[in-house]
Amino acid sequence: MTELAEGRGSAMEIRRREAAAMLAALPANALAVALDLDGEALDTESFAARLTHWLESGRPICFLIGGAEGLDRCVLDRAEAKLSLGRLTWPHMLARAMLAEQIYRARSLAAGHPYHRGGRP
């Protein structure tokens, strides 16, 4: 996990500096996945299947979470996938925790562990 310092300046300048730092931190062969409001909203089972597919590629998976100003267009263009945590806006620190939980849930599901209980009670 790479944490970027909170930016100062105009929204455009903050996004530009964050984008440069994010892209510089990505390994050359990384499979970049951007968390974005306009990304694909997957259910848990679909996310688990997608994550398994990505892991089988053998490439490092890097999830990109923007700061308060969002992700710059060049970061979104670099991403091979875009995911949404829903139509609501989440602080990036909360989005990080939600993503971590979904990764844990997806891997538990793939392993056949009973942590995930699909459907409604």
CATH superfamily, domain 11-110, is SPOUT methyltransferase, trefoil knot domain (3.40.1280.10)
Q: What is the pLDDT of residue 104?
A: 95
Task: Tell me how crowded residue 81 is: count the other CB atoms within 10 A of its CB.
Answer: 16
Count helices and strands in the chain by DSSP H and E runs? 4, 3
Q: What is the pLDDT of residue 113?
A: 81
Q: What is the pLDDT of residue 90?
A: 87
pTM score of the predicted model: 0.87
Collapsing DSSP to helix, strand or coil, 31 comes out as: strand
Going residue by residue through the chain, which has 121 residues, state the pLDDT in tens, using 9 for 90 and above.
776 666 678 889 999 999 999 999 999 999 999 999 999 999 999 999 999 999 999 999 999 999 888 999 999 999 999 999 999 888 888 999 999 999 999 999 988 887 777 765 5
Domain ranges within the chain, ordered by starting residue: 11-110
Q: What is the pLDDT of residue 75?
A: 98
pLDDT tens digits, residue range 88-119? 888 888 999 999 999 999 999 988 887 777 76
